[in-house]
Amino acid sequence: KAGVTQTPRYLIKTRGQQVTLSCSPISGHRSVSWYQQTPGQGLQFLFEYFSETQRNKGNFPGRFSGRQFSNSRSEMNVSTLELGDSALYLCASSFSGELFFGEGSRLTVL
């Protein structure tokens, strides 16, 4: 069974640009959640989707958004990038409360 797949794995952007990250969950998992990991703040919850509906949202500005498609694949978008958005972005799919993470997308903002 394939695990959680995140693309791209690495990307470099400049301030003011926008970025879209993709996450394909484990087959059969309908819940997808996103996290930002930085050395200073650790892992912080961004949002969670279930059956194409946002079920929960963390304390991030509106520049951070996401969506989920009918096949459970999810995307997150960050607009007007800032230097502080440089981080590892992790996606997880879950089944019965247990989370399974992808390898992450490492974003560097210059």
Task: Return residues touching another protein (CB under 8 A).
Answer: 4, 6, 33, 35, 42-45, 56, 58, 88, 90, 92, 97-104, 106
Cα-based distances in Å from 10 to 33, 50, 71, 104: 19, 26, 24, 9
Q: Which is nearer to another protein, 50 or 100 (CB)?
A: 100
Give CA–CA dist 99/69, Å, rounded. Answer: 19
Per the CB < 8 A criterion, the answer to whether 105 and 21 are in contact is yes
- Give min distance, CB of 1 to another protein, in A: 14
Of 35 and 109, which has the nearer Cβ to another protein? 35
Nearest approach, Cβ of residue 78 and another protein (Å): 19
Q: Give whichever of 70 and 97 is closer to another protein, judged by the CB atom.
A: 97
